[in-house]
Amino acid sequence: MFNLKFIIEDPVVLYALIIFIIAFAYQIFHLIFLRKKFARCKTTYSADASYELPPVSVVLCLRDDYSTLKSDIPVLLNQEYPDYEIVIVNFSTNATYAEKIDTWSKQNSKLTVVRINQSDNFNCSKVYPLALGVKSARNDIILLTDSNCRPSSIHWIRSMVSKYSESHTNVAGISNYEKRGSFANKFMRYEMALYNINLFSYLKAAGNYHVDTKNFMFNKKDFLSQKDLPSFFTVSNDGSAILSRLANKVQTGTMINDYAQIQDNRQYSFGAWFATVSSRYSNYKFIKPLPKFVKGLFVTTTFLFVLMAIWFMYYTGFNLLICIFCLLLSLVRIAVWFITTKKSLVDIGQKDLNFDIVLYDFILTFFRPALYVSASIRHNKLWS
């Protein structure tokens, strides 16, 4: 029971043990190092603070989402900000919806509508309407969001602008799914929370990582000056690929607080959620090599750590010392992950995700390969 000579004598067991320990060591290093980076992104904001408030253009692209926009537009129009406009790029297959949105723009001077008609033979990704919206905006500072998203407060624009400066010409904000009571909703919110944590952590640690197009501020000239912009009209699904070029740890500020968050209030079915996350994963190929390598290594070692622990115990006939060793390292990994992740979840307003995140993370570990496979075979580059 306690004879461990077979570990040295059996090269398969020895190599498996080495892989297991390396995966464990990298997991601990990754969690502690990157969570520290994320902690430094936490931003304080005071609505009473005095600073320059330049004019801002909020740009969102709409495709047959009239019902969600109808409930969200009042929050956008009632922002506590002196000079801003809302540019809606509308590609609607419903003439009635299109007319209602046009009526809104006539009734409110803050609204500008850019229409893409079916007769325009629209056959592009979301980057094309995004480019139209940015080009039509009258202000240099662009704040990007989505049609099914609602600001968490009336200080959303002001709080994002507070981080904008000559040195920070981009500002990244948080977006979360709207809270509902179901298990599926909590699982989806946990996955989105991890995405946000990774987005900010990798941005500060390795530079360019990814851009959340639901809550991102950038400079109009920087976006339109990219000479190969038209080449992305049929490549990127949501615009994150072209926008991620602008994001780096020097020029990109971070705004993580309750005022600056965006709530995605769409009611996702599991299939719709899977397609959305898969679409996001499909844009990872545009990430620069270093953050892509770091992210890929963490996902790989997470899967290997779980797989090797199970295989190692099974292959050795559930040797008592081997089982204790594997379980001890697993508990240490879970403890480090839980403590660091729980703190980060509180920072982004997801403190109601408690001990059940252990279950969510375990499920997500085995979900990720399916998401990556789905992302690698996605051929639909059109805006849908």
Model confidence, pTM: 0.85
Answer with the residue of higher pLDDT: 152 or 233: 152
Q: Is the pLDDT of residue 380 over 70?
A: no
Q: Is residue 183 part of a domain?
A: yes
Q: Is 272 in the same domain as 302? A: no
Residue closest to 257 by CA, chosen among 34, 45, 79: 45
Residue closest to 233 by CA, chosen among 144, 114, 130: 130
Q: What is the pLDDT of residue 13?
A: 76
Q: Is 235 in the same domain as 367? A: no
Q: Is 122 in the same domain as 174? A: yes
Q: What is the pLDDT of residue 1?
A: 47
Contact 20, 312 (CB under 8 A): yes
Q: Is 177 helix (H, G, I), strand (E, B) or coil?
A: strand
Q: Is 341 in the same domain as 222? A: no
Q: Is the pLDDT of residue 383 over 60?
A: no
Q: Is 16 helix (H, G, I), strand (E, B) or coil?
A: helix
Compute the average pLDDT of residues 158-173.
Answer: 89
Q: What is the pLDDT of residue 47?
A: 61
Q: What is the CATH number of the domain that holds 222?
A: 3.90.550.10
The domain of 311 spans 5-39+291-376
Q: Is the pLDDT of residue 2 over 60?
A: no
Look up residue 353 and give its amino acid.
Answer: L
Q: Is 63 in the same domain as 161? A: yes
Q: Is 363 in the same domain as 265? A: no
Rounded to an integer, what distance in angstroms lies between the CA atom of residue 51 and that of residue 161?
9
Residue closest to 157 by CA, chosen among 87, 230, 83: 83
Q: What is the pLDDT of residue 145?
A: 93
Given the structure tokens 């969570």, which residue do they identify? 35
Question: pLDDT class for 45, splitting at 50, 70, 90?
Answer: low
Q: What is the pLDDT of residue 49?
A: 62
- Percent of the chain scoring above 70 in pLDDT: 88
Q: Is residue 47 part of a domain?
A: no
Number of Cβ within a 10 Å radius of residue 232: 23
Q: Is the pLDDT of residue 360 over 70?
A: yes
| Angle at the Cα of 343 from the Cα atoms of 337 and 344, rounded to 5 degrees | 85
Q: What is the pLDDT of residue 68?
A: 72
Q: Is 223 in the same domain as 295? A: no
Q: What is the pLDDT of residue 160?
A: 93
Element at 224 (helix H, strand E)? helix 220-224
Answer with the residue of higher pLDDT: 6 or 325: 325
Rounded to an integer, what distance in angstroms lies between the CA atom of residue 56 and that of residue 363?
41
